Chains A and B, each alone.
Chain A
Amino acid sequence: MKVVPTPEVIDPIDTRGSGRDAIGLGRAAGEGLDARHGTILSLEDINVSFDGFKALTDLSLYIGVGELRCVIGPNGAGKTTMMDVITGKTRPDSGSAWFGDTLDLTRMSEVEIAQSGIGRKFQKPTVFEALSVFENLELAQKTDKSVWASLKAKLNGEQRERIDEVLATIRLEASRNRPAGLLSHGQKQFLEIGMLLMQDPQLLLLDEPVAGMTDAETEFTAELFKSLARKHSLMVVEHDMGFVGTIADHVTVLHQGQVLAEGSLETVQNDERVIEVYLGR
């Protein structure tokens, strides 16, 4: 039998190569994080409302690679809602949220966002209470997290070393085999931070990390965060001004879902409007 070669037909409506993928927009532009332009997180004109209550109004915020940013603001300013938007828990009504230059956070699921490199510490320390400290860190480890992988997973020497390293960093070596539920409040905070470290995220969101810590623990946390900055980018929401003063090079003040002021802590503290919001007239 003779094979008749089919002539190349040019389909006039073939759109391959002309879609948005090809010109560098959208998630499909590249796998993983691309932050070559120096900005790891860009929030632009974000609006969120719950039953008519405007939690965030035209919020815009940019965080640079390796930056340690503190976000302060009175209760109800929208700090936690902002974190919910970044981690995919809440979808904004309008506006855009980009992780690096290519990842559109408003279109990704919570799990995808976590896997792409954003770690979050909750306001209330949340650890796996029935598991030991070691197992908590094991689960947080950056690795294949599919069902199959978990069924077969075995820790290798390198992974064990990494867990030991983090245990040393968060000073919980002595409690490695204790159930996490038996830890003190401060220790749980550290364990949760340790779990974030295991995940090795590019951007860490920390919601009131030193709440309920002793002075010594707070001081140690400040040291820890400072050592993390530059390698990672951090966004810390905190009420403790003393703590903010020790770590922040850049502070953002939120008020009623908007950025009220931005700059060094000193500039911000001397800002008329900030004083007004915090102290009232």
Chain B
Amino acid sequence: MNQPLTLTAAQKAGPKLTAVALGAVLAVLIAMPLLHLLPADHALHVSAYSLTLVGKILCYAIVALALDLVWGYAGLLSLGHGLFFALGGYAMGMYLMRQSAGDGLPAFMSFLAWTELPWYWYGTSSFLWAMCLVVLAPGLLAFVFGFFAFRSRIKGVYFSIMTQALTFAGMLLFFRNETGFGGNNGFTDFRTILGFPIAAPGTRAMLFLATVALLAGSLLLGWKLARSKFGRVLTALRDAENRLMFCGYDPRGYKLFIWTLSAVLCGLAGALYVPQVGIINPSEMAPTQSIEAAVWVALGGRGTLIGPLLGAGIVNGMKSWFTVAFPEYWLFALGALFIIVTLFLPKGVIGLVRRRGEP
């Protein structure tokens, strides 16, 4: 009431402005796949390249959001979220490989002279079971890992290093041909999904819309969580875990819940990434991939919901431009960006926007 008028005005306009901006972005994202359906010589036609690129970035944005839920809110820095993303991708890839192989074995298995499917491939010709795997594989792994890590009270940098080791171990395992996931080539050469040709404009448009829906759903879920008492307990956990324990909260359950939820979101994002990009291989589990995801979050602004999305968009947008224009300088640009943000924008890009609005 006794605040300067401009400040109160900005505060009142804040949520409205955010809502309008979000609505506009959503409208553009829904329009893009529809414009892709226009004939190729139409002035408003969106090319398959642009659509795939944006679809890919949207999948990364979901990963950024999922990582922010555990890092920004609960204070658990994971440097292994690429593993969960790749597991979801591989689960979807198994289904797509079975689709293109028909009744036979996937091509890479024939090369290895295998005569039957390994046990864990059973049922993957069913789309429904593949979708269950998309959720179960990353979810169960995260649950088991989290259960032991949080029970042993592993925190801070030790936790980060363990997640990094986990994704590295996953990568080494998937590199082996004997593991039964196509070795270093991974899965590619997909043809159909649910019977529809995978590269047809209609299929691309549907996959893109599904990604937008998943992103919107994750955002809504994150918003609900952040506003609930659960979200406040997570923040408290991040800032003063001891105090929280002496208030009578058992941190393990809280950490395990958000950790597993985050892994599942990553798995779903990976499952939508694979059919759009057309390939999945163990390089998605490389430690650098997961570290890059942490850069997106830090750059956008952790502990906020929109920040990580901005971060993923900015970094990946720049990356695709740089790797075409000056391929050899991309890593320098990424490093410089990270340093600038750490030095001058400790709250990330979102901090710039927020600074004016907050008292």
Contact = CB atoms under 8 A, between A and B. Distances in A.
Contact of A195 (B247, B253, B257): B247
A130 B247 contact: no
A131 B229 contact: no
Contact of B232 (A122, A138, A147, A199): A138
Given A126-B242, A128-B243, A146-B253, A199 B248 contact: yes
Interface string B231-266: 011011011101111111110011001000000000
A126 B243 contact: yes
Q: Interface size bucket, B side?
A: 20 to 34
Interface string A194-214: 010001000000000000000
A139 B229 contact: yes
Nearest to A152: B228
B235 A130 contact: yes
B230 interface: yes
A221 interface: no
A119 interface: yes
Interface in A78-136: 87, 109-111, 114-115, 119-120, 122, 126-131, 135
A147 B254 CA distance: 6
A267 interface: no
B248 to A, nearest CB: 4
Contacts of A199: 247-248
Contacts, number: 77
B229 A138 contact: yes
Interface residues of A, number: 29
B230 A150 contact: yes
Nearest to A141: B247
A115 B239 CA distance: 21
Nearest to A178: B359
B249 A145 contact: yes
A218 to B, nearest CB: 23
Given A150-B229, A151-B230, A130 B249 contact: no
B250 A145 contact: yes
A142 B247 CA distance: 9
A62 B24 CA distance: 67
Contact of B248 (A114, A127, A130): A114
Contacts of A152: 228
A59 B229 CA distance: 41
Given A109-B250, A131-B236, 11 more contacts: A110-B245, A114-B247, A114-B248, A129-B240, A130-B303, A131-B232, A139-B233, A139-B244, A145-B247, A145-B249, A199-B248
What are the 6 closest A-B residue pairs judged by CB atoms, nearest first?
A153-B229, A114-B248, A150-B230, A128-B236, A115-B248, A126-B243
